[in-house]
Structure 1
Amino acid sequence: MNADSPSTNERLSLETLESLVMEAEPRVLFVEPRIVRRVIIQDRRIPGLGLRVPHSRVYTIERERLLVIADRSELGLSPAQELPRRVILIARPTDDEEFEHQANEDRLHAFWRLVFHGRVHAEVEQRIDDHEYNARKISELVRRVGAGELAEIRQVLTKDELLLPPQSDEEVFIEFLAVALELKYFAPWDLELFFPAIRDWQSVEYLWELLPHADWYRETQPVGAPERLAVPETPHLPARFSPDAPIDVMRANAADAERLLARASRTTDVGNQVKAAILQMRAAAIGTTSATEYRTAAEAELRKLTERLQQVWKLSPEETNAWWRALCPLLPYAAIGYRSLEARILYDLQKVCVAYERGVYRFNVWGWARSFGQESIRRELPLLETVQSAKHLRSTAARASSIRISAADRRCLMSLIDQVRARSDQELRQTVRPVIERTFDEVGLVPENIPERVARRKVIEELLDRLVERGFITMGDVRDFLSQNSLKLPDVSGPLELAWGDRLLRADRLLALALDGVYRPGAIYLRWSQRLSSLAFGTTPGRLLVRHLVLPFGGAYLALGVLMHFIAPHPVSSVVQTETGISDRQALPQPIPFDPPPEADPSPEPTELATASSDPPQSVSPVQKIGDAIEDVRDVAGNVAAKTFNETLGRAAKHTAEAAKIAQPLPKWFYIAWLFLGMFLWAVLDRPAFRKRVVKALYRLWAGAYWLAYQLPLSVIDSPLVRGILDSREFSIVKAYVLRPAVVTLFIVGAVWLLLREWSGSQNWVGNWQVWLNSFLALNLFLNSPAGRSVEERVLDICVRAWHELRFRIFAVIYHWVMDLFHDAMQWIEQTLYTVDEWLRFRTGDRRRFVVVKIMIGSVWSVVSYIIRFVMTLLVEPQINPIKHFPVVTVSHKILLPYLFHMRDLIRTSIGEARIPESTALAIASTVVFLAPGVIGFLVWELKENWQLYVANRPRGLHSMRVGSHGESIAGLLRPGFRSGTLAKIYTKLRYALRLESDPGHGYRSTQQLAHIDEVTLAVRRFVEREIGTLVDETRMLGDVQVTVGQVMSATNRFDIALRNSSAIDRPMVIRWEDVNGWLASSVVQAGWLADLSAADRERFENALAGLYKLAGVDLVREEVCRAVGVESIGMSTLDIAGDRVIILAPSGETVTYPLVFEARTLRASPIHDEAAPTAWPEVERSCLLFREKEITWSEWVARWNSPRG
């Protein structure tokens, strides 16, 4: 900072900061945010109310255009003040509350970034106006970046609301230059995270190599703005537990420190080093003369903890010392509270030591009693000890990304955790894998061909993944992984197997014994649902019944029933006079008569109030009279309220009962529609050709509706004729003086009429044309005045802020609060059950009385936990899980709710009205009605997964598989959408976190998102390794050579996967999956060792790649497109996908397109511009361009690898 820089101690006003910025860059003009939004809306002709205006923090505009849109008074300009040719508008940070509390250097640095961003815009736009860049040159420059990279750039800029309309290549070029150069100078460490698809940034520097951007950077630097923001080494620590800040002596003193030390001594004697260290740190925070000694003692306790970890993980002395240095920075933050992340990490590591040192066993009381003492009452659980250690270590790794220590210390600790966790997970897998394999062999889950061998290995590895991640596996996990993969169950052989259980149920029983403590056998309702589904799905008669009767005609009946329920939800009110003599009036509920008791005298008796009023006035005081009157009013009000409530319930009950009595039979058209709809659904389910035609028809219908509702109006609006009219001065005058005042008049006068329509005479002035004309003229005069424009703009500004608050705070907070509430509730219940189970486990060294207590409590707790899991799994979880709730549970609620009071009456009638109160019966009926849909949703979800368990129900061909942790396919991870685009959403959150941080080592916010990205790439790595790597190993197609997955690099729309060959480690083969404008494209970007293979080996490996592409859901393969069009070598930047066509740029410079959605069998090339039709380009089979049109059936896939050539 130079000598002229402002003092850092004195806080500068916003006006002073603005003057410093404008001194450095005279083209800058600070205005209110609403002015910037108005300028952008009018300059870019953005339609609508302007609730979402892109690029609203900085904007560049020509001087003449700016003065047409905004007055000099609004811009803060004097009449004689001159503006430069191009102005850089900066929105004042009036909406940013955090900006006001930042230091001077931080605020100047933020302004500098905005000014530099605007300067790049101004300079590049000026060069475009001077024709240094034309549309063709910009298009060529942008296309050289690459199709996938360009798609990511456009997606990032659009998602971050930085891309201005019309979002052309020119706008993408300008905005990418501004963002990339801003990051290059102000946050170069974030470049690869903002645009991760660009692997080599030197390859795109040609875009700005001729621009003097270094001069712009120096010229825009305000006085006092630092080039790099200072990053605090550690975050702020509360003063109470700061190591160097003593607390108030009135609240703590030396005696308190001694008590803390005494407690620390007692806890360390029982092996609780973490609590002892925390207590000693709290003693050090008191601020006595021995604070340094106390901190040293706390670090010594951590030294003992690391020595215990050394015994568990077999660490070397150097590794032990590294762990101790990495854990010491956690102590100050762990002293804040036992529930802090830092304290939880230390406790998790201590739990690893306890699980290793004391072991775990269980008392098998029920098994010992059932076997009459044959089974051992005490059973050791060695696997549970290993799994607990892995679980604690995994929770430590999950919390480490959010701890509040410095970035360097966080990276060091996470690196140590990752190393140990990898070893621990590998040991656990090696221990459990043989157990699962033996169990599968015993029950007959044996593969019959090579693809099934690959699938079996994948199923076992996925079970091990679930065991490592969650700490246990269940029967549902085994069922799901078998259903999702190619290893299937054979049909049920007969009644004996049906009674004894199919292979899944037998595996469930054997795994419960072999993996005691870490495998949870299926509950009785799961086992019985599996038996029923095996009868329906695992036998030929059951499948025939389900496929040809239950699914089509049962689905048709439900669909029509739901449709009738929504169309005519109250058929009782429309019932006419029937043969029984019940009419509409009689069918409606009537008030329940209120009869006095029989013994009551029909003659009215005087009330207390009347009696009191007949007494002599002098006998009762006025205050007493008022009090008695109030009591009588309360009694009367209470009686009326009770009577009203009872009448309401009675009417509802009578309405439900009468509706049941007079229910009409279904009309004849219902059965006819049911028959035809059932036959239609049967053809859709059972005839692939018919199903394909139906899908095409639905697609055409959707495309036609989309064209009619969106594309046609948009094309009309964007036509030159309409655009010329809308951009004309005449239309601007009509819009300002006719259309806008007319709309406002209609809205205001209509609103006033709605508010005053109940008043007498309001109907008269509504039809008076003079009222409308006068209102129109008055509002026209007001809206086109300076005051009116200001009011309109401020109202719009309030609406924008309100929409922002609703969208990003209220709506988002409510949504996340609801979702987090149910998620946290489920997690809390699961964690509570796990905690109680863990507390009731028996460990070596437990006292005898504790063992007896645990046996007694554990016997009762086993029943209680079973009931809780039953209720949560069967009744509650399907209702709060949005995937399971809609539409099955939603429709079930809609159908069952009207029968609430009828069920209440049925309960009272069955049990007896005298035995059960009405409120109790209503509570029981409400519980059944509200929880029963959960059972329906659970059964539908379970049966859906059970269908694909059996060989006979295997899909005909290879199809895309689930890869992500939430069931996403590769396309679902990459393709943006409402329930897809997982990777793009994580990168969006990462960019938001990076903008809040200035740390080259990344703060805890960005570290969390980077951890989520690592989870996604790990899932992709496992998918590829278990499909193609295992296939190469099983077939030995390359001899003894093994193929493994190396580095997996991700971007917002891309995965680059390195396949390593054990004979050529340094020359990996890299395949790429990327989403380009909604199409999942695959390509080999680096051949590597693939080029060294012989022709036969290469053909076999390409066949394996084709299967991998099918399992990944690839739409097209670039190499196949090149071969189809006759181009042998084609660069990545010369093949692009735009909407519904593939664009090919030949080496000769000719650009042609092939349609992708055209349904013809052969596709013909067409020029991209208005040129003559190309003749040198061949007609191509549709399946040669679209890989997804090629079907690889399961029988072909099996035959390919079982043959000697395969």
Structure 2
Amino acid sequence: DKGAPNRKLFDRLIQKANRVSEQGNSVRAALLRLRAAKYAPEGQSGETSIAAMGELEQLSRRLQSALGLGDAEAEQWRDVMVSLLAKSTKGFWSADKRLLYDLQKVCIDHEREISHIDLVGWALSLGKQPIRRLLPIQREVRINKHLRQATSRLTSIRLSGPEREQLNELLHHAADQVETQLRERLRPLVVEALNEVGFEPINLPERVSRRKIVEELLDKITHHGFVNMSMLRDAISRNNLKMSDLASPKTVFQGPGCKALGISFGIMVVLLTLGIVTCFRSAPFVVNLALPFVDYRLGFSVPPSAGYLFMGLGGLILVATYLSFQKDWLLQADKQLNKSLDGVYRRGEFYLRWLQKFSSLAFGTSAGRFATVYLAVPFGGAMIALEGLKYLFDKVHGVKHGEEAEATEHVTHLMSWFDVKNHPGPFFLGIFIVGVFLCGIIHVRSFRVAVVELIKSTFTSVRRLLYDLPRWFWQHEFLRKVFRSRPMRWFRRHVLYPLIFAALFGLLLPQMGLYSRPEPFWLGVIFLGFVALLNSRAGRDIEELTSERLYQAWDHIRVKWVIALIETTVNFFKRVMEGFERGMYAIDELLRFRSGQNIFILVLKAGLGAVWSVVAVTLRILVTVFFEPQVNPIKHFPIVTVSHKFMLPLTPTIQAALLKLNPSLGSIEAGVIAGAIVFSTPGIFGFLVWEFKENWKLYSANRNSRLKPVLVGSHGESVIRLMKPGFHSGTIPKIFKKLRRIDRTKRPTRRKRLRARYEEKLHHTLIDIRRFVERELLVLLDESHQFGEKNIRVQNVQVASNSIRIALECDAFSSGPLVLAFQEQSGWLMVGVLRAGWLNELKEWERLTLELAIAGFYKLAGVDIVREQLRGCFTPGLPPYDVMDKGLVVWPDGHYQAEVYYDLHARPWMRPRPRSLARQYDLPTLEANHALYVELAIPWETWVACWNAEESTNPMPTLFPHEVNLLPSKYLIPTKSVS
């Protein structure tokens, strides 16, 4: 849009454009020149616009150098950026403008060196560590980050169809190329760091896990721009390459720690003796003789309670000395990666390292594991569970805790006996009984199965009484006719429904204190108003829509809704904490020095960096240790809740202690400080429990004894949760649902923009699935003896609302790809070979190796039913079938008239119903572990033994207790049974 000529404004804009152009800000200069062209005098508008295009020409050359582009591709980038620039003039901070700035940041980071100014590290190392360290890896990481940001803006830009497609292709190609180069640059560094600390695999499955750990760390770097100790710990705990146990005290004592351990042992003996002497003042004569000497040497009388401090300090010194000579792979890898990936890897904070050190005593030793799984977990869990129940009952009955608890302690309710102060006997007896019960559930499989069956049978009985029986009455033909009769419909619409709503607004809501209860006259008015509303056209539409929405909501949450709610909460707070970490890291990046900046900036960033290093540690401790466990309901109940109950009575004691230490402190101030301590401290316990949960899984002795499903999606979804609609699952069907809704949008531009957004989400989901297949199946085959040189790769991944098809191609064969089809049917994950492809060309040993790899891959995917296995249970063959809510439905007549079903939840036998049809068509009774893959387990030891045999070409041990068909014979599975 051409404005009125304004020479003064034009000159000012041109001067500003020249100045920012000299500083390397080509995008800003181009925008200023375009703006100046609107106010240019006669004859200068075209020249100014050409100068703006020249700025983009310069930017394209810089981008060509940064990304290593050819001349033709650089020309394409220039044309696309010209189109973006034209759209960037509209709006304050549009996506088009931000995308141009992202591309310019790519050029800036390529042209400038990045350094870290570490004044604190230099001072602590007494000058051995340089103040300024170059961060060459950081440059490539930031380039990748800016390209990812630019890619995320593609869905919001305002380019037309062809230009949008061209930019989409160019940007995705550049982002993929840079990410690939970054991974190839960092992968050897990560592998070398892990090798240097001895974190090496000893068998083929562990080699696969080690490669997956490396790739997951690279995922974090490419996605977040950094990686830290917590991410490294989580990657190890999720995978099957684990840490070994701590060395025994005997080994440490005989090794280099002999002298230090002896000295610390002597100190411990002295402190332990001092503690015993201090604690038992009124004990034997010899002890009483020693006390005056102790008091004389110290210069004051030692209180008896100080003895516990002495004993604890002595034990702590001994334990710390013992741990200092232990080889902890995680901490050593944390230190080594901090050197190898300087600026990208952030070493764990001191409290996380200490926590790992001391938790290794409980999780990395046989004695510690025994105390954990047989004492701490069952009996500690019993106390927490009972305290949590008592807390809930106290809340219901109005029992107060803390200072006023004395007066209300004997309120009678179901859990009033669980009180260590007033009922110590029942208190400890209850912990013992519940602890033994939990111990049996954890360690005795037959007892655990019996408890689960008892719960299931109880739930089934209650459901039959409260749900199935009323439903049967409701569906009875006579009652259905009665409820659908004209008088009953009139009664519902004119009396029952209006009466319910009138009671809600006239009685229930006033009872809750929202407003005062209306007079009878107004109750009648409300009733008549609802009669008129519900019988109008709008009322009928509202009723129909409400019923439909309620039914959909119930259908979504009726299956595992509690688990889904918990998972939603956990993932929400996980994303919040990831955002907090990204924000902290962004400030770290801001304080890094870049070439071209002056000495004043260097000094300023050095000073601010020193201050920020202290502030950052403080913020992380406050947020991760104290604040987040308090506001996260999953961590808060019951751990933090029970901790609050124990801490609240200490408020007066802490307040009195503060006043004694500082008499000038007022009573109100002391109360506020004591309250802050009491209410913030319990968060530590929630933090510790969740950290211990992950630390436990670091050690090989604590590895799952069987192969378990793994996470596939970037948001923590398994394969079934990618496809199964639900409260916090169904990523793929939700995307397709959005796409169908978008296709009904009338405005073409909005439709294209929204469709591009959800197609981008679908693209990322396909990448997640591809990586899952590559890391869990193809890497396994690549490491094997039979397929090590056959170069199997993913040809493509196709998804629909409830299915995933994976095509695997192999250069060594010419029969086309092998296609695996995963499907979600009524909550069950089914899989089958859709096309055999090169499977028919395999030799016997190759087929055995592939079947072994497929068996593990299906377990990691969480497969419930394998079609080939199910087909093998029927003789001569499986008739047409489907999986529905009521179970496996088969049509033995082949014409879909006679219908027989198997209850897939029945154990151990699944009998066909109705029996008359089953006998007529001679349908077998199925054994669950023969028909359902989910009932079969792959022990870790057997899994390792099979692959060891495959590598040495020895006969493989039996993977399953009976023959299981996972791959078809030389035929194509009919499409009808798969679709």
Pairing of 1:795-814 with structure 2 (within 5 A): none
Matched-pair contact (CA < 8 Å) for 2:473–2:479? yes
What's the CA shift string for 1:753-798, capped at 9, x where partnerless? 9899x999x9xx99xxxx99xx99x999x799xx947776666778
Aligned mates of 1:751, 1:366 — CA distance in 2: 64
| Pair 1:540-2:394 in alignment | no
Alpha-carbon distance, 1:499 to partner: 1.5
Match in the other structure for 1:479: 233
- Determine helix, strand or coil for the equivalent of 1:1124: coil
- Determine helix, strand or coil for the equivalent of 1:276: helix
Alpha-carbon distance, 1:699 to partner: 2.6
- Determine helix, strand or coil for the equivalent of 1:268: helix
Match in the other structure for 1:727: 484
| Pair 1:1046-2:795 in alignment | yes
Aligned mates of 1:807, 1:857 — CA distance in 2: 57
Match in the other structure for 2:353: 527
CA gap 1:943/1:737 in 2 versus in 1, 3 angstroms:
closer
| 1:682 pairs with one of 414, 436, 439 | 439
Alpha-carbon distance, 1:292 to partner: 3.9
Identity rate, percent:
34
What's the CA shift string for 1:70-110, capped at 9, x where partnerless? xxxxxxxxxxxxxxxxxxxxxxxxxxxxxxxxxxxxxxxxx
Matched-pair contact (CA < 8 Å) for 1:893–1:929? no
Matched-pair contact (CA < 8 Å) for 2:706–2:938? yes
Alpha-carbon distance, 1:423 to partner: 1.4
Matched-pair contact (CA < 8 Å) for 1:1045–1:1060? yes
Match in the other structure for 2:608: 857
| Pair 1:837-2:588 in alignment | yes
Q: Comparing 544-553 with 1136-1145, which one deviates more in the overlay?
A: 1136-1145
| Pair 1:360-2:114 in alignment | yes
Aligned mates of 2:533, 2:248 — CA distance in 1: 83
Matched-pair contact (CA < 8 Å) for 2:118–2:610? no
| 1:1084 pairs with one of 823, 830, 833 | 833
CA gap 1:1109/1:820 in 2 versus in 1, 3 angstroms:
closer
| 1:1155 pairs with one of 902, 905, 910 | 902
| 1:848 pairs with one of 592, 599, 606 | 599
Amino acid at match of 1:852: V
Matched-pair contact (CA < 8 Å) for 2:644–2:678? no
Pairing of 1:385-784 with structure 2 (within 5 A): 385-494=139-248, 498-500=323-325, 502-569=328-395, 587=407, 664-666=421-423, 668-732=425-489, 735=492
Alpha-carbon distance, 1:852 to partner: 2.5
Matched-pair contact (CA < 8 Å) for 1:963–1:1019? yes
Aligned mates of 2:836, 2:823 — CA distance in 1: 17
Matched-pair contact (CA < 8 Å) for 2:117–2:609? no
| 2:618 pairs with one of 838, 853, 867 | 867
| Pair 1:1072-2:853 in alignment | no
What's the CA shift string for 1:396-426, capped at 9, x where partnerless? 1122222222233222212111111111111
Which has the higher Rg, Structure 1 or Structure 2?
Answer: 1
Match in the other structure for 2:712: 963
| 2:912 pairs with one of 1146, 1165, 1174 | 1165
| Pair 1:313-2:67 in alignment | yes
Match in the other structure for 1:938: 687
Aligned mates of 1:302, 1:823 — CA distance in 2: 41
Alpha-carbon distance, 1:480 to partner: 0.5
- Determine helix, strand or coil for the equivalent of 1:452: helix
Match in the other structure for 2:34: 281
Amino acid at match of 2:56: L
Pairing of 1:62-81 with structure 2 (within 5 A): none
Aligned mates of 1:435, 1:755 — CA distance in 2: 64
Aligned mates of 2:170, 2:909 — CA distance in 1: 58
What's the CA shift string for 1:228-278, capped at 9, x where partnerless? xxxxxxxxxxxxxxxxx245x5xx934223211110110111111111112
- Determine helix, strand or coil for the equivalent of 1:1081: strand
Aligned mates of 2:209, 2:116 — CA distance in 1: 35
Q: Comparing 936-945 with 856-865, which one deviates more in the overlay?
A: 856-865
Alpha-carbon distance, 1:1064 to partner: 3.8
Match in the other structure for 1:123: none
CA gap 1:791/1:678 in 2 versus in 1, 3 angstroms:
same
Matched-pair contact (CA < 8 Å) for 1:326–1:412? yes
Aligned mates of 1:807, 1:1190 — CA distance in 2: 36
Matched-pair contact (CA < 8 Å) for 1:451–1:1198? yes
Alpha-carbon distance, 1:286 to partner: 4.6
Aligned mates of 1:748, 1:865 — CA distance in 2: 52
Alpha-carbon distance, 1:553 to partner: 0.5
Aligned mates of 1:370, 1:583 — CA distance in 2: 50
Alpha-carbon distance, 1:928 to partner: 3.1
Amino acid at match of 2:926: V
Amino acid at match of 1:842: F
Matched-pair contact (CA < 8 Å) for 1:573–1:587? no
- Determine helix, strand or coil for the equivalent of 2:243: coil
Aligned mates of 1:540, 1:264 — CA distance in 2: 70
Aligned mates of 1:574, 1:474 — CA distance in 2: 43
- Determine helix, strand or coil for the equivalent of 2:355: helix
TM-score where L is the length of structure 1: 0.65
What's the CA shift string for 1:1099-1138, capped at 9, x where partnerless? 32122111101001111111111111135587xxx33101
CA gap 1:859/1:748 in 2 versus in 1, 3 angstroms:
closer
Aligned mates of 1:320, 1:925 — CA distance in 2: 65
Alpha-carbon distance, 1:702 to partner: 2.8
Pairing of 1:52-451 with structure 2 (within 5 A): 245-246=1-2, 253-286=6-39, 289=42, 290-336=44-90, 339-451=93-205
- Determine helix, strand or coil for the equivalent of 1:996: coil
Aligned mates of 2:18, 2:343 — CA distance in 1: 35
Alpha-carbon distance, 1:706 to partner: 3.1
| 2:932 pairs with one of 1186, 1191, 1197 | 1186
Structure 1 runs not aligned, ≥5 long: 1-244, 576-581, 590-661, 809-817
Aligned mates of 2:946, 2:690 — CA distance in 1: 35
Aligned mates of 1:722, 1:806 — CA distance in 2: 23
| 2:661 pairs with one of 895, 911, 935 | 911
Match in the other structure for 1:596: none
Aligned mates of 1:1011, 1:389 — CA distance in 2: 21
Matched-pair contact (CA < 8 Å) for 1:264–1:277? yes
Matched-pair contact (CA < 8 Å) for 1:492–1:539? yes
Alpha-carbon distance, 1:881 to partner: 5.0
Amino acid at match of 1:691: R
Match in the other structure for 2:883: 1137
Aligned mates of 1:805, 1:735 — CA distance in 2: 20
Amino acid at match of 1:498: L
Matched-pair contact (CA < 8 Å) for 1:1037–1:1097? yes
Matched-pair contact (CA < 8 Å) for 1:401–1:414? no
Amino acid at match of 1:530: Q
Match in the other structure for 2:276: none
Matched-pair contact (CA < 8 Å) for 1:246–1:287? no
Pairing of 1:1108-1127 with structure 2 (within 5 A): 1108-1127=857-876
CA gap 1:923/1:321 in 2 versus in 1, 3 angstroms:
farther
Residue-pair matches, total = 852
CA gap 1:472/1:1072 in 2 versus in 1, 3 angstroms:
same
What's the CA shift string for 1:443-501, capped at 9, x where partnerless? 12111111111111111111111111111111111111110011000101145572245
Alpha-carbon distance, 1:936 to partner: 2.5
- When the two chains are superposed, the root-mean-square deviation of aligned CA atoms in Å is 4.0
Alpha-carbon distance, 1:877 to partner: 3.5
